[in-house]
Structure 1
Amino acid sequence: MPRRSILLFAGACAAIAAALLVVTLVLVNRPAGGLQPGEVISSGQADIGGPFQLVNQDGQPVDQSMLQGKWSLVFFGFTWCPDYCPTTLQALDATKKRLGDKAKDLQIVFVSVDPGRDTPQALKDYLSTDGFPEGVIGLTGTPEQVRAAANAYKAYFQKVGEGEDYTMNHSLTVYLMGPDGRFRTAVAEELGPEKSAQVIERAMAAPAQASPT
């Protein structure tokens, strides 16, 4: 099978895995009235997210406390990603514009799964690309730190190939985290900016979840 076909197949498998995760959350938390088309619901109790130790694009150490006090869209990718990552960043820029004033309470966090190439400076240069949202927080770290962060979010990634031309397969989920740093819902790329904004607005309007005992 040609290399590109292998990569596309692996990416599709990752997308299916992410979709199954979201479907599981939907089924567990489905309201009595049923779901509207394109709607994703979560109780916020899913075991997604947790402690991490990384550095931002300014080289400053950060941890999970950076999620406190703001809504956050977290996704995993890499700066050499040819399609999904730039497309997602552009879509999130459009989503924030549709949120209007609510966008001031929302931050976008891009976690690199390619620490070998994605230094803080590489992230800073990449995230300054025209068409990407302003203020995106890029995170990287040692391979061990990145792996721990990905495991906390149940995010898949794998290096494919050798030498300078290697690439990274990775899952496609965008995680919406609440101001308490806990998972709320997944925002699927295929929803588009308008429906994505609606999903985020519904999550923002939902009552805060009690911490588990």
Structure 2
Amino acid sequence: MDKTVAYIAAGVVVVALGGTYLATALMTPSGEDAFAQCRGGAVAGDAIGGPFTLIDEAGQTVTDQDVITEPSILYFGYTFCPDVCPLDTMRNAQAVDVLANEGISATPIFISIDPERDTPEVVGRFADNFHDKMIGLTGSDEQVAAASRAYRTYYRRGEGEDEFYLMDHSTFSYIVLPEYGFVDYIRREDTPEDVAARVACFAAAS
């Protein structure tokens, strides 16, 4: 199985089974899911999330522990994206504002899947345009691929040899908590209010 097929297969599993992984750290002593009341989907068997090393907008190497310091909404996209990425990124930023109005601090994180064009400066400007708290990350091809594998995302460069190529990619966002890691995913149809309510639930239960 080649890498593209493998990523597609993983994405199908996420869609079909709900994309939620119950890691040992999320279980109570009785074996119950500590966040069951917050989850939007069923339980899947493959781990989602994990450590990553990327480059921030200042050109500094950072890890997941450096950037995930509070409830976070993580999204993989690219700055040249004409439609889906801006809409999803704006929705995540708006959810952070809804949470702020409720007294809950959260961080939106944007990870580029297009490091060829998305330099630290480019991804930084993109993130800053959406929210002053948004963290924009990029990296080498290998670093981005490793982060994508950790979150079971799919991406592939489209046809075209010039600088105007598009990227095909999955469109889930991920709710991530410090110490726990990934706890649930967000679908495209979820509204800012939906996302905020889910993040607030996880924050209260953690």
Provide the residue aligned with 1:113 in structure 2.
Answer: 113
Q: Flag the 1:119–1:160 CA change in 2: closer, same or farther, 3 A.
A: same
User: SS at 1:110's partner residue?
Assistant: strand
In structure 1, C-alpha distance between the alignment counterparts of 2:121 and 2:78, rounded to whole Å: 13
Of the three residues 15, 22, 42, the one matched with 1:19 is 15
Q: Name the counterpart of 2:85.
A: 85
Q: How many residues get paired? A: 186
Identity %: 32
Opposite residue 16 of structure 2, the aligned amino acid is L
Q: Is the 8 A contact 1:89 1:133 kept in 2?
A: no
1:1-213 mapped onto 2 (5 Å cutoff): 18-22=14-18, 40=40, 47-99=47-99, 100-104=101-105, 106-129=106-129, 132-163=130-161, 164-206=163-205, 208=206
- CA spacing shift, 1:205–1:186, aligned 2, 3 Å: same
Query: 2: distance between equivalents of 1:146 and 1:116?
Result: 11
* CA shift in 2, pair 1:17/1:75, >3 Å: farther
TM-score, normalised relative to structure 1: 0.75
How big is the alpha-carbon RMSD for the aligned residues of Structure 1 and Structure 2? Answer: 3.1
Unmatched 5+ stretches in structure 1: 1-11, 209-213
What residue identity is the alignment partner of 2:164? Answer: D
TM-score (norm 2): 0.78
Give distance in 2, aligned partners of 1:154 and 1:196: 20
Shift of 1:193: 1.2
**Counterpart for residue 5 of structure 2:** none
Distance in 2, matches of 1:118 and 1:67, equals 19
Paired residue secondary structure (2:153): coil
